[in-house]
Amino acid sequence: MPNQEEYSEQLYTEDALLLKVKQAIKDSGMPEVSIAPGYGRLLTMLVAASRSTRILEIGALGGYSGICLCRGLSKAGRLTSLELKAEYAELAGRHLEEAGFGEAVEYKLGPALDSLKLLEAEGRTFDFFFIDADKENYPNYLEYAIKLAAPGAVIAGDNIFLRGRTLNAEKNGPAVQAMRRFNEMIASDERLTSTLLPAYDGLALAVVK
């Protein structure tokens, strides 16, 4: 019997381009940690439903989530994506180009915290945030997202369960502690309306009041 995620996934056909992105990631020996297909579809829906035009992604990898985010954008929309590794941003950029979003995306290379500091100094604001990079910095990324948020902005954060480690009292490494802190912030920060989705590896969702 399929589990709930397998059952849901088998109702959809993953499109050829997203499959190609995943294959390219595998072939390049990059970590195979793109967002789950069901959450990719959710990102597209949320960007479209919120009519977001300025998206900030933290963690590009091979461009899978970038394509999903851009698919929800209107023609005038733009994606700013922060990525530590130049070779990852390059591959992501090629895939976004292939998806028809080459003009809509800009990559900022280096540690995301440095890029966020610059974006803040430039007075940039965003309607939609997707947090999906180094887990130790999730609480810092959330604070920046709230700072750079336009009123009503949406914040999504992936992998909040760390494949079960977040829930396991015997696991207390830096990533686990940071993720617990992030989840607590999402759940209790009075500046946010939020929920945590438990499918796949968990997705945090919030709207900045």
* CA distance linking residue 186 with residue 180, whole number of Å: 10
- Per CB under 6 A, the list member of 18, 34, 56, 155 interacting with ligand SAM is 34
Interface with ligand SAM includes 107 (CB under 6 A)?
A: no
> 31: buried, middle or exposed (CB in 10 Å: 19+, 13-18, 0-12)?
exposed
Interaction residues for ligand SAM, span 51-80 (CB under 6 A)? 59-61, 64-65
Question: Between 64 and 129, whose beta carbon lies closer to ligand SAM?
Answer: 64
Q: Which two tokens stand for residue 201?
A: 């590896």
- Confirm or reject binding of residue 98 to ligand SAM (CB under 6 A): no
Asked if 162 is part of the footprint of ligand SAM (rule: CB under 6 A), the reply reads: no
What are the strands, taking DSSP E only, across 59-200?
78-83, 105-109, 126-131, 149-158, 192-197
Among 85, 94, 165, 171, binds ligand SAM (CB under 6 A): 85
Q: Which of 134, 143, 189, 201 binds ligand SAM (CB under 6 A)?
A: 134
Q: Does 88 bind ligand SAM (CB under 6 A)?
A: yes
Radius of gyration of the chain (CA): 16
Say whether residue 155 binds ligand SAM (CB under 6 A): no
Q: Which of 46, 55, 104, 112 binds ligand SAM (CB under 6 A)?
A: 112
36 touching ligand SAM, by CB under 6 A:
no
Q: Is 35 in the site for ligand SAM (CB under 6 A)?
A: yes
Nearest C-alpha neighbor of 79 from the set 63, 62, 61: 63
For residue 75, what are the CA distances in angstroms to 48, 72, 84?
A: 11, 10, 27
How far is the C-alpha of 41 from the C-alpha of 182, rounded, in Å?
23
- Binds ligand SAM by CB under 6 A, chosen from 9, 20, 22, 33: 33
Nearest residue relative to ligand SAM (C-beta): 59
Which residue from 116, 152, 117 is spatially nearest to 131, judged by alpha carbons? 116
Pick from 70, 99, 133, 146: which binds ligand SAM (CB under 6 A)?
133
C-alpha separations of 148 from 10, 100, 125, 134, 184 in Å: 38, 27, 5, 19, 20
24 near ligand SAM (CB under 6 A): no
Q: Count Cβ atoms within 10 A of the Cβ of residue 94 and give its class: 0-12 exposed, 13-18 middle, 19 or more buried.
A: middle
Q: Does 131 bind ligand SAM (CB under 6 A)?
A: no
Binding stretches for ligand SAM (CB under 6 A): 33-35, 59-61, 64-65, 82-85, 88, 111-112, 132-134
